[in-house]
């Protein structure tokens, strides 16, 4: 399984604007359960620089490109906001990662 991890950062004074953009983004680029599954909808942290929001989804088998495209299109709605920053990364679960080194993950 491959995870898509989107991390957004923005100052606290942009909260209203980001909230409105969230509603717009979900209308423009809705969740497509045939492409990915939401693992963490939004884990919100606060700190001296504002908010950090982490979103994690898992791409369905053979749908990684489509899942990344959706995540990117959704974040581009927010990118219009000055001061909003984001990254999108991928990560393999243990089963996938261990296969890279020729090992099989122990069964849970």
| Domain extent at residue 39 | 2-100
Residue 106 in domain: no
- Which two tokens mark 15? 């909260």
Residue 50 in domain: yes
The pLDDT value recorded for residue 100 is 78
Residue 37 in domain: yes
Output helix, strand, coil percentages for the chain, rounded to the nearest 5.
35, 35, 30
Residue 19 in domain: yes
CB 76 within 8 A of CB 92: no
Which CATH number fits the domain that encloses residue 28? Answer: 3.30.70.260
Residue 17 in domain: yes
Q: Which helix (H) or strand (E) holds 24?
A: helix 15-28
Residue 81 in domain: yes
CA–CA gap between residue 106 and residue 86 (Å, rounded): 34
The number of distinct structural domains making up the chain is 1
Residue 107 in domain: no
User: Mean pLDDT of all residues in the chain?
Assistant: 93
Block mean pLDDT (10 aa), the chain, length 108:
96 96 94 95 94 97 96 95 97 84 76
The pLDDT value recorded for residue 46 is 96
Model confidence pTM above 0.85: yes
């Amino acid at each position: 399984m491959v995870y898509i991890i989107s991390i957004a950062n923005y100052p606290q004074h942009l909260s209203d604007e980001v909230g409105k953009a969230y509603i717009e983004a979900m209308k423009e680029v809705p969740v497509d359960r045939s492409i990915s599954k939401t693992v963490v909808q939004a884990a919100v942290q606060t700190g001296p620089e504002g908010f950090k929001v982490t979103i994690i989804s898992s791409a369905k088998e053979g749908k990684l490109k489509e899942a990344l495209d959706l995540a990117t299109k959704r974040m581009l709605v927010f990118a219009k906001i000055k001061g909003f920053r984001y990254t999108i990364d991928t990560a393999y679960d243990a089963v996938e990662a261990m296969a890279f080194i020729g090992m099989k993950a122990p069964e849970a």
